[in-house]
């Protein structure tokens, strides 16, 4: 069975209620869960239980109504592992969006550490009250480690993307990261974790594209360097460091900006897109899951959004743009570029 067919089967089972892990798989997942407990104990040992400040507030000083940017999901969206708001993905992307759009951007981070897809609905309820223009969702790792049924997780994510897009909000989903890069998870479970992560990421992509959203593969968060460069990890060796989150933000920024029409075409000219192809969505999802930083979005071929093998999707793999370092973001905030509101 190919990766595309596995992804298609998992996404289809999410729609029709099937799916799940067999008895042998469940036993292996139990072992992975124990490894996750060990990793969480390491988090507690290194005192990373406290989330960084939200950084919620208005960024930029351009004209016009602020772009409302909501950040939803789990600890990766929170920025767990860093101490300053200026080191979190939400603040880094909000500041960059303000510069690109020449408009103020109001950041509303609603993500909660430990969140699984089943608990996204509460965050979306809060987000809709903010009338968001664009939402970034980062979710999936806890669904793997908590033994959530993959089909259920995918369906729940699709439901929340549907609610957001129906309200006129653009949605970008950073798919399940590759848990095979996490050092506290030992072999052979690391290989299994990588497979489960990629299959869930592919199924998430199929479901999100079907609801009109787009995805970005976070893969090894972000790139092969994360698996070998210790500077990319925080002290718990589980969550990214400030450097790691900056890399994540750089990969997510083009898709978030492009979704609301503020990503300049000139940013892609001369950089030569690494990949810009159209495929059936299942093939696109499977390919993206193994290639960090790849965006998948719905598209048309000859005026048709669906072909003989299902909906069409466009893959785009840009070279990550330059994004302010956490130190530069901090300097901008001190200079008055950002006027953060109440920080939680």
How confident is the model at residue 25, as a pLDDT? Answer: 58
DSSP letters for 161-230: HHHHHHTT-EEEEEPPP-GGG-TTSPTTHHHHHHHHHHHHHHHHHHHHHHTT-EEE--TTSSSTHHHH-G
| Model confidence at 37: pLDDT above 70 | no
Q: Which residues are catalytic?
A: 75, 236, 239
Return mean pLDDT, the chain. Answer: 79
How confident is the model at residue 337, as a pLDDT? Answer: 44
How confident is the model at residue 310, as a pLDDT? Answer: 85
Each residue's pLDDT tens digit, 319-330 = 777 665 545 544
Helices (H), the chain: 3-16, 23-45, 75-78, 89-101, 120-129, 141-145, 150-166, 189-210, 225-228, 242-259, 281-289, 326-334
Position with higher pLDDT, 253 vs 332? 253
How confident is the model at residue 242, as a pLDDT? Answer: 79
| Model confidence at 189: pLDDT above 50 | yes
How confident is the model at residue 338, as a pLDDT? Answer: 45
How confident is the model at residue 120, as a pLDDT? Answer: 98
Of 187-196, 256-265, 304-313, the one with minimum mean pLDDT is: 187-196
Which tokens go with 111? Answer: 């993500």
Count of Cβ atoms closer than 10 Å to residue 2 Cβ: 10
Distance of CA 224 to the CA centre of its chain: 17
In residues, how long is the chain?
344
How confident is the model at residue 69, as a pLDDT? Answer: 98
Confidence of residue 17 (pLDDT cuts 50, 70, 90): very low
Each residue's pLDDT tens digit, 58-97 = 999 878 899 999 999 999 999 988 889 999 999 999 999 9
How confident is the model at residue 33, as a pLDDT? Answer: 65
| Model confidence at 13: pLDDT above 60 | no
CATH number of 7-270+319-340: 3.40.50.1110
């Amino acid at each position: 069975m190919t990766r595309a067919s596995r992804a298609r089967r998992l996404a289809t089972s999410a729609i029709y209620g099937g799916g799940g892990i067999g008895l042998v798989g469940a036993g292996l997942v139990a072992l992975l869960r124990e490894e996750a407990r060990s990793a969480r104990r390491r988090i507690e040992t290194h005192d990373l239980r406290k989330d960084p400040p939200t950084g919620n507030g208005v960024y930029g000083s351009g004209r016009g109504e602020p772009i409302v940017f909501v950040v939803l999901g789990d600890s990766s969206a929170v920025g767990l592992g860093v101490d300053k708001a200026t080191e979190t993905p939400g603040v880094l992307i909000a500041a960059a969006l303000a510069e690109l759009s020449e408009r103020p951007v109001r950041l509303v981070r609603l993500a909660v550490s430990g969140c699984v897809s089943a608990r996204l609905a509460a965050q979306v309820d809060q987000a809709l009250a903010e009338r968001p223009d664009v939402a970034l969702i980062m979710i999936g790792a806890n669904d793997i480690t908590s033994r959530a049924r993959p089909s259920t997780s995918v369906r729940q994510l699709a439901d929340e993307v549907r609610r957001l897009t129906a309200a006129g909000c653009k949605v970008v989903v950073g798919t399940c990261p590759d848990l095979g890069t996490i050092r506290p998870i030992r072999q052979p479970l690391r290989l299994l974790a990588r497979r489960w992560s990629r299959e869930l990421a592919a199924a998430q992509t199929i479901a999100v594209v079907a609801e009109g959203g787009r995805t970005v593969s976070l893969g090894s968060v972000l790139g092969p360097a994360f698996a070998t460069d210790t500077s990319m990890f925080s002290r718990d060796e589980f969550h990214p460091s400030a450097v790691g989150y900056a890399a994540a933000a750089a990969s997510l920024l083009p898709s978030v900006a492009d979704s609301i029409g503020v990503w300049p075409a000139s940013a892609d000219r001369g950089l030569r897109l690494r990949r810009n192809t159209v495929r059936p969505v299942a093939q696109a999802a499977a390919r993206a899951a193994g290639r960090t930083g790849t965006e998948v979005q719905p598209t048309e071929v000859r005026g048709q959004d669906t072909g003989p093998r299902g909906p069409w999707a466009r893959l785009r793999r840009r070279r990550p743009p330059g994004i302010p370092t956490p130190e530069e973001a901090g300097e901008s905030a001190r200079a008055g570029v950002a006027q953060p509101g109440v920080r939680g």
